[in-house]
Amino acid sequence: MLWKTVLLLALVDPVLVLENGLLRKPPMGWLAWERFRCNINCDEDPKNCISERLFMEMADRLAQDGWRDLGYTYLNIDDCWIGGRDAQGYLVPDPKRFPNGIAFLADYVHSLGLQLGIYEDMGNFTCMGYPGTTLDKIIQDAQTFAKWKVDMLKLDGCFSTPEERAKGYPLMAAALNATGRPIAFSCSWPAYEGGLPPKVDYSLLAEICNLWRNYADIQDSWKSVLSVLDWFVEHQDILQPVAGPGHWNDPDMLLIGNFGLSFEQARAQMALWTVLAAPLFMSTDLRTISAQNVDILQNPLMIKINQDPLGIQGRRILKEKSLIEVFLRPLVNDAFALVFFSRRTDMPYRFHSSLARLNLTCSGLYEAQDVYTGAVISGLRPETIFTVIVNPSGVVMWYLYPIKNTGISQQ
């Protein structure tokens, strides 16, 4: 076993664990967990169980229904795909639910112009009790994923100790890079350490992970969305500076298209995740999603804002007694994204403000395009008073730009 220990130590080299050049913009795609969980009952529910069929059908929808062309390119497997380990200790998928193997699925996904993500856990077991990646299996599993032509690894943290996580996540980053295959690395490490310094070293995370889960899993409810948002806002002074091209805070999946959000709340989550420069991972049934929810998720201007090349995470800049909050994200070409968000539960609220009141005091003339309606608000100077009408649990979102340099547009 000594040679394995020496090899593991040799891999923890700054050259190997630094920037891998991936995910210069927040990743976009589809992830199975929130909608399909650990449904392995393929006898009674063959269309919705975690299986080769499910992922191939979702890949078809991503490719054929406009998602891929807008940037939703990742198709990510979550927990419950593993069948065990073979006699040599290599991971194998469940033979009944993935009869052709993961490499076959990767080839299929790649043939559609998509990328495949996979899941493991830095511990004895995955969160649902399947074989995990223990320290002695890190190199072997990284090589397996590369052999299968996987494009992203999400590494969870159930059934592990803080000491194992502190060793394991940097080792896996190094092992992935050492395979020679570009594999984006999604780390759940900070979520298991409370998400904050001193237990979480975000400087280290930015060197070894492309994105990381900071907080608890999102559930299919508005209450859950607000709990995630509240935590991110409460700690924005810590979280906002550490995000950027190649290393993103991940507030978890989009619930849009499922059961727990109203129309206004779905639009609010999309806008708020976008202003936070969050990864956009849908987790819904793309075979049955409504046209209304497609419109939210496929909004071209929203996606362009999310994918802004500066990669600056937005912040809440105003919290009013009226229960209106304002979020701001700087964009290229001296533009901004503004989100006016209502926590009210009574009726639409008329919110009056000006750019100067929001500390946007640049000289000159601005226009704003409503991201959802497409309406253009012209003639905005810092002192100009404007009014937005925000529905309960809803948002108004503006793309604000100087008229001399319009940058991106809805068209």
Catalytic machinery residues = 156, 217
Matching residue, tokens 């090349």: 309
Distance (Å, rounded) from C-alpha 131 to C-alpha 151? 21
Residue type, 377: I
Tokens representing 401 are 């730009």
Residue closest to 126 by CA, chosen among 98, 103, 94, 150: 94
Contact 340, 388 (CB under 8 A): yes
For the chain, the farthest-separated pair of C-alpha atoms sits apart, in whole angstroms, at 72
Alpha helices in 148-234 (DSSP H): 162-178, 202-208, 222-234
Q: For residue 1, count other CB atoms closer than 10 A to its CB.
A: 6
Buried b (16+ CB within 10 A) or exposed e, 33-72: bbbbebbbebeeeeebbbbbbbbbebbebbbeeebbebbb
Distance (Å, rounded) from C-alpha 319 to C-alpha 74? 35
Contact 75, 116 (CB under 8 A): yes
